[in-house]
């Protein structure tokens, strides 16, 4: 069963290149493909390096996003609290600010 991991594939392909280089009689048969495989492996390693770098950038962006989201949540809470304090907890206009007003007094 072939190894589908990056490291496993890289080792398998590198071993194949080494084996071909150690058997020069096969180079005439596989030279174009061997050169293509070597170039592809170089491109693959460059792509993997870029992927790792972007992964680190993604983590930073995610952390920043979460921090800003929390800040926006806190500021919205403060604004709604101020509006509720200004208008009163039973004012129907609170609904405009996505705040549920307390129900009015019920008569018995």
Report how far apart, in Å, the C-alpha atoms of 62 and of each of 28, 29, 40, 103 are.
Answer: 51, 50, 32, 41
pLDDT, tens digit, for every residue of 63-81? 999 999 999 999 999 999 9
Residue 104 lies in a domain: no
Residue 102 covered by a domain: no
Q: Which domain holds residue 76?
A: 6-97
| 101 and 89 Cβ atoms separated by less than 8 Å | yes
Residue 93 within a domain: yes
pLDDT at 76: 94
Has this prediction a pTM greater than 0.85?
Answer: no
Question: How many domains does the chain fold into?
Answer: 1
Low-confidence ranges of the chain (pLDDT < 50): 1
Is residue 64 one of the residues assigned to a domain? yes
**Structure confidence at residue 106 (pLDDT):** 74
Distance CA 25, CA 104 (A): 95
Question: Is 103 a member of any domain?
Answer: no
Asked if residue 108 belongs to a domain, the reply is: no
17 belongs to a structural domain: yes
The pLDDT value recorded for residue 105 is 74
């Amino acid at each position: 069963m072939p190894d589908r991991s990056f490291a496993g594939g890289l080792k398998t392909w590198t071993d194949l290149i080494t084996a071909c280089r150690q058997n020069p009689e096969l180079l005439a048969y596989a030279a174009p493909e061997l050169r293509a495989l070597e170039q592809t492996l170089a491109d693959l390693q460059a792509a993997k390096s870029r992927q790792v770098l972007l992964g680190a950038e993604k983590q930073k962006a995610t952390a920043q996003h979460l921090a800003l989201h929390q800040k926006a949540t806190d500021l919205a809470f403060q604004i709604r609290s101020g509006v509720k304090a200004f208008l009163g907890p039973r004012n129907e206009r609170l609904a405009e600010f996505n705040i549920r007003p307390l129900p009015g007094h019920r008569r018995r």
